[in-house]
Amino acid sequence: MPINGNADPGQLTQYAPTMSNLDTEALTIPNVKVLNVIYEIDDSVMAELLPPALHPTIPPTVHVIGMRADDGPLGAFTLATVRVGCRAAVRPRGLPTRAVCTEGEAATALTERWGFPITIGEPVLRERYDRQSIEVNDGNVTVLSAQLIDPVPIGNGDLLYTAGMHVANVERDGETKPWLVQVDPEFEVSRADRGAAQIDAFDSNFWDAPDLRPVYPIVASYTTANITLPKIRYICDPLQPAISGTVAL
């Protein structure tokens, strides 16, 4: 059977939030700019990046995602997320290892209601005619620089966004322990471009993904979309195979 992750869930919680209430209502954020830079990664550490509930994809991948909203119910914000591509049983998923968000209402809501592993920072999403980029600095050090180069329009329906499995310390039945919280946003895309993927800087330790090494570019996309963050419907025990460890709320 496929390779399972072998990370101790406790080691994946350095930036995991605590969620005391999973009864989250859906929320739509309009006109979000979304940059998604996808790379294949060094397969020697693919199992160490995921808990036993999840399988690495064949080949293993990382998604560097930049989002920027200029207004909306959570105000203006910019978010950078690093996600490891994976499978929960037969479902395509991504496990965020860490996210950096500008300070404000969005950071709080994304953390508390949807379990994003956020720390506050100043990610910058830049849009140019020949490229789009996301950059994150930690002090004077650039810990992430990724871009889409030479964008060309593609169909709005050509894109496929996968759901996230967010590690969070969930308070449930009188116990607080790590769970994988399934977050499957809906994307209503109004514009989409595709181009070459390029990662110029990636500090795997900063992103809580030790030894994750992007090695082969796949592609990058840049879209404008209304994103509906969902009501949480499922959580999964990170220690059990997702096919048996998933719990409907």
Partner 1 sequence: MKFGIFYEISVPRPWENDIEHTVYHRCLEQVRVADEVGFHSVWAVEHHFLEEYSHCSAPELFLTACAMQTKQIRVGHGIVVCVPQFNHPIRAAERAAVLDILSDGRLEFGTGRSATWTELGGMDANPDETKETWDEYTRTIPQMWTNERYGYEGRAFKMPTRAVLPKPYQKPHPPMWVAVSSPGTEIDAAERGMGSLGLTFGGFAEQEEKVNRYRSRIRDCEPAGLFVNERVATVNFLYCHPDNETGIKTGSRLTGSFGYLAAQLLPVREVHPTRSYPNPGLLAASRQQAEQTPGEGASAPEGVCIGNPDRLVEEIKKWESCGVDQINFLLNALETIPQEQVLDSLRLFGEEVMPHFVDDKPSTTSEPRELAASAAAGGD
**What is the CA angle 86-88-89, rounded to 5?**
120
Nearer to partner 1, 74 or 239 (CB): 239
User: 227 is written with which tokens?
Assistant: 């994103």
Nearer to partner 1, 55 or 98 (CB): 55
How many Å apart are CA 180 and CA 245, to the nearest integer? 10
How many Å apart are CA 90 and CA 202, to the nearest integer? 29
CB 207 → partner 1: shortest distance, Å?
Answer: 19
- The footprint of partner 1 (CB under 8 A) covers 1-3, 38, 40, 55, 57-59, 61, 85, 87, 89-92, 154-155, 158-160, 162, 192, 194, 216, 218-219, 221, 243-244
How many Å apart are CA 138 and CA 146, to the nearest integer? 15
**What is the CA angle 240-243-248, rounded to 5?**
95
Nearer to partner 1, 55 or 166 (CB): 55
How many Å apart are CA 110 and CA 108, to the nearest integer? 6
User: 179 is written with which tokens?
Assistant: 């769970």
DSSP states along 132-184:
EEEEEEETTEEEEEEEEEEEEE--GGG--PPEEEEEEEEEETTEEEEEEEEE-
Closest by CA position to 249, among listed 180, 201, 175, 164:
180
CB 191 → partner 1: shortest distance, Å?
Answer: 13
CB 37 → partner 1: shortest distance, Å?
Answer: 11
How many Å apart are CA 60 and CA 55, to the nearest integer? 9
Peptide linkage before 30 cis (omega within 30 of 0): no
CB 156 → partner 1: shortest distance, Å?
Answer: 10
Nearer to partner 1, 130 or 216 (CB): 216
CB 160 → partner 1: shortest distance, Å?
Answer: 5
Nearer to partner 1, 40 or 184 (CB): 40
Nearer to partner 1, 139 or 157 (CB): 157
CB 218 → partner 1: shortest distance, Å?
Answer: 5
